[in-house]
Amino acid sequence: MRFRRNLLGSFLSFVVVIGVWQAIISFGHVAPYVAPTPLDAWRSIVENWSHLWPLTLTTAKETVFGFGAGAALGMGLGVLLSKRRFVQRVIYPILILSQAIPIIALAPPLVLVLGFGLTPKVVIVAWIVFFPVTVSVLDGLANVDRDLLMLARAYGASPWRTFLAIEVPSASASLFSGLKIGATYAVTGAIIGELAASSGSSLAMFQHAQSAQLDAAGVYGTTLIMTAVGMSWFGLITLVEFFTTPWKRRSIARRAGRHI
Amino acid sequence: MKHRLVRLVTAGGLALVAAITAIAPSASASSSLTKVRFAYDFPWPDMELIPVIVAQKEGFFKDHGLKVSIVFPPTTSTTVQMLATKDTDIAMLSTSDLVVAVKAKVPVVSIANYSMKNNWGLFALPGSKLSLATLKGKKVFSWGDTWTTAMLPFVLKKAGLTAKDITVVNGEADTPLLKAGKVDFVTNTTNYAIPGIGGKPVQIVGKAAGVPAVPVWVYATGSSYAKKHGKTVSAFMAAMKDATQWSIDNQGKAVRYFDKAFPDSGYTHSYNVKAWKLTVPLLKNKSGDFFVQTKKQWTTLAQAMVDVKQIDKAEKPSAYFTNKFLP
pLDDT in tens, B307-323: 888 899 999 999 999 99
| CA distance linking residue B116 with residue B214, whole number of Å | 7
Choose the mutation target among A110, A213, A215 for the interface with B, i.e. most B CBs under 10 Å: A213
Separation of first and last alpha carbons in chain B: 66
With an 8 Å Cβ cutoff, is A208 touching chain B?
Answer: yes
- For B145-197, the pLDDT digits (tens) are 889 989 999 999 999 999 899 999 987 788 988 998 889 999 999 999 999 99
pTM of the model: 0.81
CB pairs under 8 A between A and B: 81
* 3-class DSSP assignment, residue B175: helix
Chain centre to alpha carbon of residue B147 = 13
Question: Which of the four pLDDT bands, split at 50, 70 and 90, describes residue A7?
Answer: confident
* 3-class DSSP assignment, residue B203: strand
pLDDT at B7 over 80: no
| Binary contact (B170, A196; C-beta < 8 A) | no
| Cβ burial, residue B56 (10 Å; 0-12/13-18/19+) | buried
- For A81-114, the pLDDT digits (tens) are 999 999 999 999 999 998 898 888 888 888 888 8
Partner residue opposite B77 with nearest CB, options A196, A197, A212: A212
pLDDT at A6 over 80: no
Domain B32-116+215-319, CATH among 3.40.190.10, 3.30.450.20, 3.30.70.20, 2.60.40.10:
3.40.190.10
Q: CA of B134: how far to CAs of A165, A200, B131, B188, in Å?
A: 63, 20, 5, 19
- For A200-223, the pLDDT digits (tens) are 678 998 998 898 888 999 999 999
| Binary contact (A34, B139; C-beta < 8 A) | no
Question: Which of the four pLDDT bands, split at 50, 70 and 90, describes residue A259?
Answer: very low
| Binary contact (A112, B177; C-beta < 8 A) | yes
In A, minimum Cα distance to B79 occurs at A212
Min Cα separation A68/chain B (Å): 26
| Cβ burial, residue A188 (10 Å; 0-12/13-18/19+) | middle
Choose the mutation target among B170, B179, B309 for the interface with A, i.e. most A CBs under 10 Å: B170
Domain ranges of chain B: 32-116+215-319, 120-209
Chain centre to alpha carbon of residue B91 = 8
Instruction: Name, in order, each residue with C-beta under 8 angstroms of A11's C-beta and a sequence gap of 6 or more.
Output: none
- Amino acid, res. A251: S
Domain ranges of chain A: 37-246
Do the beta carbons of residue B40 and residue B258 sit within 8 Å? no
| CA distance linking residue B73 with residue A111, whole number of Å | 25
Per the CATH hierarchy, to which homologous superfamily does domain B120-209 belong?
Periplasmic binding protein-like II (3.40.190.10)
Longest dimension (CA), chain A: 78
Chain centre to alpha carbon of residue A142 = 23
Q: Which chain B residues touch A212 with a CB distance below 8 Å?
A: 76-77, 97, 100, 144-146, 149
Helix extents (H) in chain B? 2-31, 50-57, 60-63, 79-84, 95-103, 146-159, 175-179, 190-197, 223-228, 230-249, 251-261, 269-279, 295-307
Partner residue opposite A33 with nearest CB, options B81, B146, B310: B81
Choose the mutation target among A30, A33, A205 for the interface with B, i.e. most B CBs under 10 Å: A33
- For B116-136, the pLDDT digits (tens) are 999 999 999 999 888 888 999
The class of domain A37-246 in CATH terms is mainly alpha
Q: CA of B275: how far to CAs of A216, B225, B252, in Å?
A: 34, 32, 12
